[in-house]
Amino acid sequence: MKQIVIASSNAGKIREFREMLEPRGYTVISQNELGDVGEADETGTTFRENAVIKAAYITNKFGIPAIADDSGLEIDAFGGKPGVYSARFLGHDTPYEYKNRIILERMENEEVRTCRYVCAIAYTEPGKDPVVFEDTCECLIAREPKGENGFGYDPIIYYEPLHKTMAEMTKDEKNAISHRGKALVKLENWLNEDH
Site for ligand ITT in 57-76 (CB under 6 A): 69-73
Residue 117 burial (C-beta neighbours within 10 Å; 0-12, 13-18, 19+): buried
Residue 134 found at the interface with ligand ITT (CB under 6 A): no
Closest separation between CB of residue 195 and ligand ITT, Å?
A: 25
Residue facing ligand ITT at closest CB distance: 152
CA–CA separation, 171 and 185 (whole Å) = 16
Q: Could you say whether residue 86 binds ligand ITT (CB under 6 A)?
A: yes
**Rounded distance, CA 132 to CA 93, Å?**
28
Instruction: Report if residue 100 touches ligand ITT, rule: CB under 6 A.
Output: no
How far from 181 is each of 120, 135, 175, CA to CA, in Å?
11, 9, 5
78 vs 151, which CB is nearer to ligand ITT? 151
Helix (H, G, I), strand (E, B) or coil at 143: coil
Q: Is 151 in the site for ligand ITT (CB under 6 A)?
A: yes
Task: Tell me the three state secondary structure of residue 154.
Answer: helix
The correct pick among 57, 123, 133, 153 for binding ligand ITT (CB under 6 A) is 153
Active-site option among 69, 70, 135, 154: 70
Q: Which of 110, 169, 109 is nearest to 137 (CA)?
A: 169
Query: Does the active-site annotation cover 70?
Result: yes
Catalytic residue list: 70
**Which residues of this protein are in contact with ligand ITT, per CB under 6 A?**
8-10, 13, 42, 54, 69-73, 86-87, 117, 150-154, 166, 178, 180
